[in-house]
């Protein structure tokens, strides 16, 4: 499972951020690693320098083998919480999607 991280200009993307995001995603989606080819993580600060509650948005899109993409979005007050929340939502979505696929085998 490849994890691809994308940030906008208002979110500082560096090695530390990559390690945090990859760690959260890999840990949370560990159960599905054999079923996924790629997970794309898009992090954006929607208000940039203005600030505000829940202005950090994380969109995750997983690419399960043999199925269409599964995408979720989560808003939070900081990057780590937005990534963690999106990973949790994606876990639930994949559990449902891949569970249905496995039932039809």
Nearest to 39, CA basis, from 103, 100, 93, 105: 93
Average pLDDT over all residues of the chain: 89
Does the structure show a pLDDT above 60 at 19?
yes
In the chain, the domains with their CATH numbers are: 2-103 (3.30.160.100)
Does the structure show a pLDDT above 90 at 99?
no
Q: Among the ranges 2-16, 66-80, 88-102, which has the highest mean pLDDT value?
A: 66-80
List, for residues 44-73, the tens digit of each pLDDT value.
Answer: 988 766 666 778 999 999 999 989 999 999
- Tell me, what's the pLDDT at 12? 80
Look at the pTM and tell me if it is higher than 0.75.
yes
Contact call for residues 83 and 58 (beta carbons, < 8 A)? yes
What value does the mean pLDDT take over residues 3-8?
A: 93
Contact call for residues 1 and 61 (beta carbons, < 8 A)? no
Percentages of the chain per state (helix, strand, coil), in multiples of 5:
45, 30, 25
């Amino acid at each position: 499972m490849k994890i691809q991280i994308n940030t906008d200009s208002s979110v500082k993307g560096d090695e530390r951020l990559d390690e945090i995001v990859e760690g959260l995603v890999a840990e949370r989606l560990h159960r599905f690693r054999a079923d996924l080819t790629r997970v794309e993580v898009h992090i954006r600060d929607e208000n940039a320098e203005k600030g505000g509650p829940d202005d950090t948005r994380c969109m995750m899109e997983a690419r399960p083998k043999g199925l269409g993409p599964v995408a979720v979005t989560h808003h939070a007050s900081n990057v780590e919480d937005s990534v963690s929340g999106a990973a949790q939502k994606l876990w639930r979505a994949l559990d449902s999607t891949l569970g249905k696929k496995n039932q039809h085998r």
